[in-house]
């Protein structure tokens, strides 16, 4: 056993021994432009490029330029690649993030509302009742997180509650939900003990609660990428696969896709259940048209319009 461990340690040491030491000095903006030109990128508006790179750091710009690299030489850009082509993709990604965040906001607030409505059955402080939740440790963690957020947020609704009441120690669920992220909301839903309660929350969206749970987990991932300004337009994602027999489009998005297209399908479906899918879809198709983006890199199939049509028609 010890011999095996020793051999593994030696192999790992060997692996690290073969690595180089990073000695590249930081490049000035002028040098950054020289690097791009040396790799075949056209920079025909030097002042524009310099202004852009003074506000957007070079490594971030390079990540958006990857689709423009030659397949056989990753140090060379494809013929006629222009600096402004990369900027266009960068701007599209920014607009796409904003569109997705706006849509997730609507979905998140709706799910919060369905969760709050459990108070009709259990009272305004049901989220403190350990009998209603499976994992008591997870519940305590959720409550502690809310307590921390209440102290840090200085929320006016929280202040008003403690100004007027001293019992219970925590505000009612409709105040707590104002301080709850979509990730925390997903954990609350998962932790509910009674399946009927989970079903009551999911009923608004005409899906099984396990599907709602999977979608919330996926939207949490996307929301975190988007909120931290990470590139999302052509990124690969890892989604939890849940089969929904009633909605093939949801199953396809969760199980067969790993690109932002799947997220857009899921968002469109949930906005459809709220009756507000059309503005989102119009903005999405408008962005694709304006920026002339390569939607295949986003995971869009050839018949993507049909898929969106099916979703918006409840299929």
Instruction: Return the SS3 of 20.
Output: coil
Residue 67 has pLDDT above 50, yes or no: yes
Structure confidence at residue 45 (pLDDT): 97
Contact criterion met (CB below 8 Å) for 125 and 168: yes
Lowest-pLDDT range of 54-58, 106-110, 150-154, 180-184: 150-154
Question: pLDDT digit string (tens) for 165-186?
Answer: 988 889 999 999 999 999 999 9
Instruction: Tell which residue, 214, 220, 193, has the closest CA to residue 202.
Output: 214
Question: pLDDT digit string (tens) for 208-231?
Answer: 999 899 899 999 999 999 999 999
Contact criterion met (CB below 8 Å) for 212 and 234: no
Question: pLDDT digit string (tens) for 3-12?
Answer: 444 444 445 4
Instruction: Tell which residue, 253, 255, 247, has the closest CA to residue 298.
Output: 253
3-state SS string for 213-244: HHHHHHHHHHHHHHHCCCCCCCCCCCCCCCCC
Q: What is the pTM of this model?
A: 0.88
Structure confidence at residue 143 (pLDDT): 93
Domain ranges of the chain: 25-57, 93-312
Contact criterion met (CB below 8 Å) for 287 and 95: yes
Question: pLDDT digit string (tens) for 81-136?
Answer: 999 999 999 999 999 999 999 999 999 999 999 999 999 999 999 999 999 999 99
How far is the first Cα of the chain from the last one, in angstroms, to the nearest whole number?
Answer: 57
């Amino acid at each position: 056993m010890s011999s095996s461990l020793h051999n593994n340690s030696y192999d790992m040491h060997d692996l690290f021994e073969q690595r180089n030491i990073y000695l590249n000095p930081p490049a000035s903006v002028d040098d950054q432009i020289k690097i791009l030109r040396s790799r075949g990128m056209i920079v025909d508006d030097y002042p524009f490029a310099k202004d852009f790179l003074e506000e957007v750091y070079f490594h971030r710009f390079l990540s958006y330029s990857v689709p423009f690299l030659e397949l056989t030489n990753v140090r060379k850009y494809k013929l006629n690649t222009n600096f402004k082509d990369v900027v266009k993709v960068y701007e599209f990604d920014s607009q796409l993030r904003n569109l997705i965040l706006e849509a997730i906001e609507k979905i998140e607030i709706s799910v919060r509302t369905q969760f709050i409505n459990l108070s009709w059955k259990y009272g305004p402080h049901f989220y403190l009742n350990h009998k209603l939740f499976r994992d008591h440790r997870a519940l305590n963690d959720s409550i502690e997180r809310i307590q921390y957020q209440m102290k840090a947020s200085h929320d006016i609704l929280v202040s008003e509650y403690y100004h007027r009441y001293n019992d219970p120690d925590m505000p009612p669920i409709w105040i707590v939900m104002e301080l709850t992220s979509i990730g925390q909301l997903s954990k609350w839903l998962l932790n509910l003990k009674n399946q009927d309660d989970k079903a009551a929350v999911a009923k608004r969206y005409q899906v099984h609660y396990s599907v709602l749970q999977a979608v919330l987990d996926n939207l949490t991932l996307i929301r975190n990428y988007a909120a931290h300004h990470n590139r999302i337009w052509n990124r690969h994602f890892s989604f939890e696969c849940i089969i929904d027999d009633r909605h093939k489009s949801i199953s396809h998005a969760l199980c067969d896709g790993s690109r932002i297209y799947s997220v857009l399908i899921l968002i469109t479906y949930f906005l459809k259940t709220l009756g507000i899918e059309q503005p989102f879809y119009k903005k999405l198709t408008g962005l694709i048209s304006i920026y002339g983006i390569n939607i295949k890199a986003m995971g869009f199939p050839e018949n993507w319009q049909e898929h969106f049509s099916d979703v918006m028609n409840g299929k």
